[in-house]
Amino acid sequence: MAVLIYIATGSNLGLRVDHLDRADTEIKRIGRVLRTSPTYSTEAVGMADGTPDFLNRVVEVKLDPPWTTQPEATMQALLDIERQMGRTRVEGAVSSRPIDLDIVLWGGRILDLDGLVVPHPRMVHRRFVLQPLADLIPNFQIPGSACTVLDLLRGLPDSVPDIAQWPNT
């Protein structure tokens, strides 16, 4: 059975778009990248003044067996990609990074596993996840919710920072 997952990707260090492109290539270890959203520039909210902006996008992936039945192993494969691309995670710390890979949706499933909660619990408050996700699947109903991706995006309060398509046209 085919399993589609959606991975939010972000970078704010170095050649950001090159990092996103490389991550798209590396993600092919777990499946076939079907579509990639447009790229957006996002202010580094909650970080020190002068912190570089993030570039963000969402990637739609059709998982290969055996990944379809191993969400924890799939997340570990993504963490391995992050590490190989130079990311150092510090528990509880928000820091700049060459790459960030988060599974935000796993088909229509709800997962609550050690190290992996899907739908991603913070995505509903993040324009930089919801907008690129809406570019791919606007009418997808979020598992465990009566809302679609587009409903959530339209319902964001004005206090949630705007994003801009990148490169600016």
Q: 21: buried, middle or exposed (CB in 10 Å: 19+, 13-18, 0-12)?
A: middle
Domain range summary for the chain, segments of one domain joined by +: 4-166
Tell me: pLDDT of 48 over 90.
no
Tell me the two tokens of residue 126.
């993040």
What are the distances in angstroms from CA 24 to CA 28, 40, 112, 114, 142? 7, 15, 25, 25, 24
Which pLDDT does position 49 carry in this prediction?
Answer: 86
Tell me: pLDDT of 142 over 70.
yes
Which pLDDT does position 23 carry in this prediction?
Answer: 97
Which pLDDT does position 95 carry in this prediction?
Answer: 78
How large is the average pLDDT for residues 80-85? 96
Which pLDDT does position 90 carry in this prediction?
Answer: 67
Tell me: pLDDT of 91 over 70.
no
Q: Round to whole Å and give the CA distance between 46 and 161.
A: 11
Q: Tell me, which fold does domain 4-166 have in CATH?
A: Alpha-Beta Plaits (3.30.70)
Tell me: pLDDT of 158 over 70.
yes
Tell me: pLDDT of 93 over 90.
no
